[in-house]
Structure 1
Amino acid sequence: MTEIKRKIEDHGIIGDLRTCALIACDGTIDYFCWPNLDSPSIFSALLDSDAAGLFSLAPDWQDCRRQQIYLPDTNILQTRWLAREGVAEMTDYMPLCDQEDRQPRIIRRIKMVQGEARFRLRCAPVHDYARAKTHAQLRDNHVEFTAEGQPGLRLAATCELQVEGGAAVSEFTLKSGQHAEFMFGSVDDEHLDEIQTETCFRDTLSYWRNWAKKSTYRGRWQEMVNRSALVLKLLTSWQHGSIAAAATFGLPEEHGGERNWDYRASWIRDASFSVYALMRLGYVTEAKRFTKWVGRCVENSQRDKEKLQVMYRLDSGTELQESELLNLSGYAGSTPVRIGNDAWRQTQLDIYGELMDAIYLANKYGEAISHRGWENVSRMIDYVCENWNQPDAGIWEMRGEPQHFLHSRLMCWVALDRALRLGIKRSLPMPFARWDKVRSEIREDIWQNFWNAERGHFTSTRGGKYLDASMLLMPLVRFVSATDPDWIATLDAIKDKLVSDGLVRRYDMAETPADDLRGEEGSFAACSFWYVECLARAGRIEEAHFEFEKLLSYANPLGLYAEEFDYRGYALGNTPQALSHLALISAAFFLNRRLSGEDPLWQP
């Protein structure tokens, strides 16, 4: 395995609702796509070597302690160095990119809190996923970076810059109370003005704190819940209303493995769950904007007489052609590094249930559905009625032969159930008898064909033997009572087969023929939080509480979660992952109420 210079869990994230950058605890920006989250990367060192592009800035100290913290209730990141020679801190943020004519900018402010230090800076973007030859040119007090056919970039600074190869470099000394500022962004940006950047800082600080204080959550673990909400907001597109599954591409589910996917797109499933989590905390505006975005996706699909896709580009575009970046060696030598995602071609029937659940809740807590919106829903539910009994790729996007998965059946049932509830609640026209009949047929199919009497538990596939952590959603979507003996037996079987010290694997790869990729993967963060919520709903409050506290200890120092955990609880996969954070919110919300003596067993 290739040596890991900066680990996944060593990173914080900043963003401007258009794109995001990862910043390691050594002060290095080693991942950044520009100008949009799904644009080609310009800093790609995280997925290769430093030669693939980075922006490093740190004091020249050999022996120091490094820390990262967020300014409270914000996505403004501070990196701190503590040494015998003094204390230095760097503040990184991106001003909100909420105007069409603005391009994303990163502003870095390095300050000497006490003592004195010599600092080293190296800013070396490499355009187009590190495939283009980028040139650097010194102009007055800034450096411009250009590559053929690529957008121009610029680094401006309050200290003297020089050019070394394709990089901007600088060495400078700061004494106690002194600071230096840097602005990285478009070549067309205005020049660096410290008065203007101070205004940018105050505006950015104010935006995040005003957004955070709108949360209605006042329970235990408020800091972790609020951090998770801030992560979900960072992954939300100001321009389109879509919600990305994660900020990154290519980070592996196993060191040296091939399960390295691009998550810079909006999965209908993950985004729907995200809306549910945000609405629980009082963020209704995000739900409204997502509903409008997904409405455009539904209309586009039906205009082309196609089924709803599993995922869409952030701008609601339909194609996400998958390819491999052969020039990148991968994080920890994990190849291939993929961009795009061929899962957009798959059939995953569960997405109709997750989407319909989000639409139902958006109507319950927000605005009533429009006439045209209900027409779209009706066509979607008619599609489910005609296709629920088909095999598919399932929630885990198996790349083998389609199968009949329990989770897909379950969520088809949810689609019919929520559509019927919404239609009755709003007195909307619908073929009630037909929809109700199909809903009953799906329920009967699950109990008849996905219950293994010999093993005494539900199984992941029709007539199968094995388990899948997605089954943990059965009581969470109210298909089965959380205290039903048959469900408790299934929960215990999942605990025995898939759970290790509270960390839950999605499935046993040796028992899942639909997964035809080589290698292993870690434990899935979202499944681990689903497990906690299932324990709490089953009345196992003390066990749920303890397992939840353990999961909180596996967050990185900033409270961030990637997609998975390795056997030691360290991060694997793309980061930060929306599904991980929304599952944390859901588990915290329910467990807090049970610990407080409330009984929200059937509350959404």
Structure 2
Amino acid sequence: MDPYPLIADHGMIGDLQTAALVSGDGTVDWFCCPRFDSPSVFGALLDHRRGGHCRVRPAEGPYTARQLYFPDTAILITRFMTPSGTGEVVDFMPPASTRATDNHRLYRMLRCVRGNVDFDVEVAPRFDYGRREHTTHATGHGVIFDSAPFTLTLHAVREPDDERLVQMRVTDDNAVRARLPLSAGQVRGFVLESGAEGPPRSIRPAEVVRAFEDTARFWRGWLAKSTYRGRWRETLNRSAVTLKLMTYAPTGAIVAAPTAGLPEQIGGGRNWDYRYTWIRDASFAVYSLLGLGFTEEAADFARWLADRYQAGRGGGATPLDIMYKVDGSSDLAEVTLDHWEGYRGSRPVRIGNGAAGQLQLDIYGELFDSVYHAHQHGLQAGHRGWQALSGVLDWLGDNWDQPDEGIWETRGGRADFTYARLMSWVAFDRGIRIAETLRRPGPVDRWRAQRDRIYAQIWRRGWHPGRRAFVQRYDSDVLDASLLRMAQVGFVAPNDPKWFATLTAMEEDLVADSLVYRYDPNASPDGLPGDEGTFSLCTFNYVNALAGAGYLDKARLVFEKMLTYGTHLGLYAEEIGPTGEQLGNFPQAFTHLSLIDAAVTLDHALDHPHG
């Protein structure tokens, strides 16, 4: 039996400072604490023997497991149907405060809803990616797992006269095991708390139920702010909640994914750490959430960006780094965890990210596009924000016309990527619009001249007459799916003959049964070994491009087919493999934000088919 569940066989819970993944059999096999980018406490997802886990499952007999989210929340329910009864594990994390804290609580509420179910519980943390030892101390009310300075406390959930989950056994490897028999109507379980101020305590079931209700109330209250009333409301609600779960509330930073090391090819080496905030990914996410009516996240992210700009003034070669830790620091040195075998043998397992020092000029276009979108939703840049924005444009005016590493963070050297030029054009275009609309000071004539130079250059060097398409980089004939955004950002008219020709060329080279590859690594070596699957962001961008070009039937079919690749919970990883499996870090902000964009665009196009 394969000890690694499918990537798709997971749900995510979180408290807006960190997150955990729970497999379909009730195992927490990924949890970093106290932040998304902190070392792992449970990491069995990347090494089933050394990574650590928290497992709850029926003790005896065959069982069938099913998962669902409590409607319109981030509360995950794993149901177990056994011959003797039906039980549930309800996993949730109450939202943490907007103040950074080491105190986080993961509730595992066990309940029997029919008959009788005996649960086996095993809690086996492995701190600091399994590199740090710990001691285990059991008391009459729970357990302390001590790996100084970090501690994890297990509080037993029980009635005062209930001895269940008190008879715990500490194993030779400093794990804890217990058996918990339940009958219909009973609620028990435990709470895992980091940074607890006192010793373990017994928690009454009624207290857990109140925490459950408060958590549900928070998520339903947040989701009620959505203005989306289109055809795919339930799907978009799930994607919105997923993006919100990847938001670090104390700063407004949004991580690209809550995981590290999940492979783009099983057994391959394209295994990256995505637990950080990319300017590009977060800007895209803010844009998508704004499209659903969520404005608070945009305002928080804008303040975070202004802080990054002020902190970096005069200290670096660029006004912004391409990525940061969630607290805004930029030490992302990449190291490998050689003691971990990786997901299904996919090595190396990397933490940190070596791409952090790359030059990626497109990030400024994504940033300005989101800022302009926020402006359209009534969020205006204040004095400090406009100083940062105008400073970025001044720098970009001197630096846009140079090779960079590109959106896909290839490690094959710098090139004149067309997408980088496209998004530089977007940065100037949106900056000019904001300045003129809000009467903000700045060298608008200079920015306009730079914008027009880029426009002329792309049409002259980015269009390949032989391929009859816009190409990945100048002086090449390679196609790249990043350019599916050209019409969406307004660079080319959606009915331009050259745009139609580009879509046709991409369909021939990059599209396979509606799924879209980023580029052909054989035609455009990227300095990395191995292959990868189709890139889900690109597939949803393809839907956008088709809808904008008037191919509505085709766009809807591609979108509906893409929805069939979602997991049982409506979640998506970064890529989809040849057999339809989810690949890469999970869940992926890129995919969920592009799903939202595609649905909003397609809804509008279907409602207004003639313009």
Asked if these proteins are the same fold (TM beyond 0.5), I'd say: yes
Alignment of 1:162-173 (within 5 A): 162-165=169-172, 166-173=174-181
Can you list the C-alpha shifts for 1:554-588, whole angstroms capped at 9, x where unaligned? 00000000111111221100011111000000000
Supply the AA of the counterpart residue of 2:191. M
Q: Specify the alignment match of 1:55 in structure 2.
A: 54
Q: Specify the alignment match of 1:482 in structure 2.
A: 494
Q: What is the distance in 2 between the residues matched to 1:556 and 1:220?
A: 19
Instruction: Give the C-alpha shift of residue 60 in structure 1.
Output: 2.3
- Closer, same or farther in 2 for the Cα pair 1:99/1:465, shift >3 Å? closer
Supply the AA of the counterpart residue of 1:117. V
For the pair 1:103 / 2:103, whether they are aligned, the reply is: yes
Q: Specify the alignment match of 2:161 in structure 1.
A: none
For residue 415 of structure 2, the aligned residue among 399, 403, 409 is: 403
SS in 2 for 1:144: strand
Supply the AA of the counterpart residue of 2:535. F
- Closer, same or farther in 2 for the Cα pair 1:516/1:3, shift >3 Å? farther
Instruction: Give the C-alpha shift of residue 3 in structure 1.
Output: 4.0
RMSD: 1.4
Q: Specify the alignment match of 2:223 in structure 1.
A: 212
Can you list the C-alpha shifts for 1:405-435, whole angstroms capped at 9, x where unaligned? 0110100000010001111111112212211
The 8 Å contact of residues 102 and 195 in structure 2, kept in 1 or not, is answered as no
Alignment of 1:15-414 (within 5 A): 15-98=14-97, 100=99, 103-147=103-147, 149-157=148-156, 158=158, 159-160=165-166, 161-165=168-172, 166-186=174-194, 188-189=196-197, 191-194=201-204, 195-307=206-318, 308-414=320-426
Q: Structure 1: give runs of 5+ residues left out of the alignment.
A: none
- Closer, same or farther in 2 for the Cα pair 1:512/1:133, shift >3 Å? same
Instruction: Give the C-alpha shift of residue 99 in structure 1.
Output: 5.6
Q: What is the distance in 1 between the residues matched to 2:61 and 2:541?
A: 43
- Closer, same or farther in 2 for the Cα pair 1:172/1:4, shift >3 Å? closer
Supply the AA of the counterpart residue of 1:430. G
Q: What is the distance in 2 between the residues matched to 1:248 and 1:570?
A: 17
Can you list the C-alpha shifts for 1:81-111, whole angstroms capped at 9, x where unaligned? 1233221111100011116456111001111
Q: TM-score, normalised by structure 1?
A: 0.97
Q: Specify the alignment match of 1:497 in structure 2.
A: 509
Q: What is the distance in 2 between the residues matched to 1:150 and 1:569?
A: 43
Indicate the larger mover: 118-127 or 93-102: 93-102
Aligned residues: 597
Instruction: Give the C-alpha shift of residue 22 in structure 1.
Output: 0.1
Q: What is the distance in 2 between the residues matched to 1:269 and 1:216?
A: 24
Q: Specify the alignment match of 2:461 in structure 1.
A: 449
Supply the AA of the counterpart residue of 2:169. Q
SS in 1 for 2:446: helix
Q: What is the distance in 2 between the residues matched to 1:413 and 1:136?
A: 58
Supply the AA of the counterpart residue of 1:182. F
Instruction: Give the C-alpha shift of residue 63 in structure 1.
Output: 2.5
Instruction: Give the C-alpha shift of residue 80 in structure 1.
Output: 0.5
Can you list the C-alpha shifts for 1:433-484, whole angstroms capped at 9, x where unaligned? 2111111110111011111111211110101101011011111111111121
SS in 2 for 1:443: helix
Supply the AA of the counterpart residue of 1:80. R
Supply the AA of the counterpart residue of 1:441. R
- Closer, same or farther in 2 for the Cα pair 1:102/1:314, shift >3 Å? closer
SS in 2 for 1:52: coil
Instruction: Give the C-alpha shift of residue 499 in structure 1.
Output: 0.8
Alignment of 1:500-519 (within 5 A): 500-513=512-525, 515-519=526-530
Indicate the larger mover: 190-199 or 582-591: 190-199
Q: What is the distance in 1 between the residues matched to 2:228 and 2:396?
A: 35
For the pair 1:563 / 2:574, whether they are aligned, the reply is: yes
Q: TM-score, normalised by structure 2?
A: 0.96
The 8 Å contact of residues 467 and 505 in structure 2, kept in 1 or not, is answered as no
Identity %: 43
- Closer, same or farther in 2 for the Cα pair 1:187/1:439, shift >3 Å? closer
- Closer, same or farther in 2 for the Cα pair 1:163/1:503, shift >3 Å? same
| Runs of 4 or more above 4 Å deviation | none
Can you list the C-alpha shifts for 1:40-99, whole angstroms capped at 9, x where unaligned? 001010001144200000112442221110011100000001233221111100011116
- Closer, same or farther in 2 for the Cα pair 1:275/1:105, shift >3 Å? same
Q: What is the distance in 2 between the residues matched to 1:372 and 1:99?
A: 22
SS in 2 for 1:362: helix
The 8 Å contact of residues 302 and 385 in structure 2, kept in 1 or not, is answered as no
SS in 2 for 1:152: strand
Q: What is the distance in 1 between the residues matched to 2:226 and 2:144?
A: 41
Q: Structure 2: give runs of 5+ residues left out of the alignment.
A: 159-164
